[in-house]
Amino acid sequence: MCGSEGPRRGWGRCAPSPMLLLSLLASAAPLGLLGEETRQVSLEVIPPGLDAPQNLLHIRAVGTNSTLHYVWSSVGPPAVLLVATDTPHSTLSVNWSLLLSPEPDGGLVVLPKDSIQFSSALVFTRLFEFDGANTSEGAKPPGEPYPPYSLAKFSWNNITDSLEPATLSATFRGRPTDDPTGAFANGSLAFRVQAFSGSGRPDQPPRLLHSADTCQLEVALVGASPRGNRSLFGLEVATLGQGPDCPLMQEQHSIDDEYAPAVFQVNQLLWGSLPSGFVQWRPVAFSQRQRGRESALPCQASPLHPSLAYLPQSPIVRAFFESHNNFCAFNLTFGASTGPGYWDAHYLSWSTLLGVGTPPLDTLSPLVLGIMAVALGAPGLMLLAGGVFLLLGHRQCSEYQRIN
Ligand SMILES: *[C@@H]1O[C@H](CO)[C@@H](O)[C@H](O)[C@H]1NC(C)=O
Ligand SMILES: *[C@@H]1O[C@H](CO)[C@@H](O)[C@H](O)[C@H]1NC(C)=O
Ligand SMILES: *[C@@H]1O[C@H](CO)[C@@H](O)[C@H](O)[C@H]1NC(C)=O
Ligand SMILES: *[C@@H]1O[C@H](CO)[C@@H](O)[C@H](O)[C@H]1NC(C)=O
Ligand SMILES: *[C@@H]1O[C@H](CO)[C@@H](O)[C@H](O)[C@H]1NC(C)=O
Ligand SMILES: *[C@@H]1O[C@H](CO)[C@@H](O)[C@H](O)[C@H]1NC(C)=O
Ligand SMILES: *[C@@H]1O[C@H](CO)[C@@H](O)[C@H](O)[C@H]1NC(C)=O
């Protein structure tokens, strides 16, 4: 073999691989993920034991000294609980009859309680649709809202049928229970969740860097009929504050867009001073399954506000946090009235990471490091890289020739 294992395909077979440059530069670049621990991840669907079509997915990620529990559910609006404990032996216990009762407090617990280091939740409450066509005529972007879809009033697939143990993923796919206009006759809103046993980066943009301490959520609206020719969509997300304040919303800038074309920013929601829990995403969504620069839409996040009473209750959040109720909420809106949009292919997808600890940090990519090395004219470095490359490259190429 004489190929390069670098993240860019199509490099010349015998050209210096960007990975080679990276390894040479590694001591100079702060690599956030060196020495990252791995986790034993299991996905378990917890059956209701009653005749209720209810989904509860428990993702348990066990490390040497800790366990992360992600509990995803479509009981009520789609929601996830994130619970981190400092023991590899903590367990989740669910009392379904309590959970589905009007007073679900205590229906869902992680034991032993004193092992819990961090816990919070995200609840996806509403899907918004806006008429993006009129924004140029004075209306404020994203445009006039159509009546929102309440995600608490969706019905969801049986999560068991969508489990993919090989990729540690599962998909909640739902449509409005009551759909008088048939907008979702051929469409659905899907929440694909995926856990990871180690660090890495998916093949598809936005290629968020993940670790064993994170879980990825991909939200996709597919095939639903929009109510306008230029509909923009939005998603309302509620979360729990730690103490009296809302979590912190942060924007981080980066000069590197190799993994998410033309996106130089990472948005983060942090629940407390590090390390606590975080949500992290690139402010980009995609309007085609084929994700790239041509199908990239901007994704705007509104500031986080203490939420008002209208938010639908999530039974699992109530069950776990009991009377805790300082919810905060924000809106994500996808796309602009110009450029690509949902109207192109009736497709919209957005990805985010949820986890504990320090959020994964993109260091400069091998490509950018290579360019910098050239631009800064680090001749010694290049010489060294060239020398090592000649050694490796020559050996690899001769093997390649021998095979033929
Ligand atoms: C979901 O599917 C599994 C297996 O296909 C089945 O055992 C289970 O009863 C189903 N759950 C519901 C709520 O229908
Ligand atoms: C795990 O526990 C061991 C023994 O108590 C300790 O040496 C190690 O530093 C801990 N590792 C982490 C990641 O906390
Ligand atoms: C579940 O909760 C109900 C109501 O509090 C209680 O009566 C029942 O014993 C609990 N079930 C289990 C298995 O703990
Ligand atoms: C868009 O603007 C036009 C002209 O201002 C108006 O007639 C029309 O009702 C608007 N459409 C919507 C959906 O508000
Ligand atoms: C759903 O798909 C069917 C078959 O492709 C088509 O005939 C129908 O018009 C579609 N309905 C909507 C609401 O798009
Ligand atoms: C959508 O576009 C079609 C054709 O361009 C037009 O006839 C129709 O009135 C438009 N609908 C809306 C809601 O603007
Ligand atoms: C999200 O946007 C909708 C529609 O503009 C608005 O009604 C709602 O209050 C917003 N929610 C938050 C949390 O800002």
DSSP lists the bridge partners of residue 60 as: 42, 69
Distance from C-alpha of 340 to C-alpha of 144, rounded to nearest angstrom: 19
The rounded Å distance from CA 270 to ligand 2 centre is 25
Q: Which helix (H) or strand (E) holds 384?
A: helix 379-403
pLDDT for residue 48: 84
Measure Cα distances from 272 to 33, 119, 329 in Å.
21, 11, 16
Q: Report residue 276: phi and psi, to 5°.
A: -130, -130
> What pLDDT sits at residue 253?
83
Q: What is the 187 CA–ligand 5 centroid distance (Å)? A: 10
Ligand 6: residues whose CB is within 6 Å?
A: 133, 228-229
Per-position pLDDT tens, the chain of length 404: 333 333 333 323 333 344 433 333 333 333 333 334 799 999 999 988 766 678 999 999 999 989 999 999 999 999 999 999 999 999 999 999 999 999 999 999 999 999 999 999 999 999 999 998 876 666 677 889 999 999 999 999 999 999 999 999 999 999 999 999 999 999 999 999 999 999 999 988 898 889 999 999 999 999 999 999 999 999 999 998 877 889 999 988 876 666 766 677 899 999 987 668 999 999 999 999 999 889 999 999 999 988 866 678 899 999 999 877 789 999 999 999 888 999 999 999 999 999 998 888 776 666 666 666 667 666 555 654 555 455 444 444 333 344 43
Tokens representing residue 103 in the block: 């007073």
CB-ligand 2 contact for 64 (6 Å cutoff): yes
CA distance 292 to 48: 41
- Of 38, 62, 65, the residue with max ligand 2 atoms within 8 A of its CB, to mutate for a pocket test, comes to 65
Distance 156 CA to ligand 1 centre (A): 12
3-state secondary structure at position 251: strand
Nearest atom in ligand 4 to 228's CA: 13
> What are the pocket residues of ligand 1 if the criterion is a CB atom closer than 6 Å to any ligand atom?
53, 158, 160-161
Q: At what angle do helices 366-375 and 379-403 cross, to 10 degrees?
A: 130
Q: pTM (2 decimals)?
A: 0.83
CA gap 177, 126 in Å, rounded:
14
Residue 98 CA: nearest ligand 3 atom is 2
Cβ 155 under 6 angstroms from ligand 5? no
Beta strands in 63-187 (DSSP E): 67-73, 79-85, 91-94, 108-111, 116-131, 144-145, 149-150, 154-156, 169-176
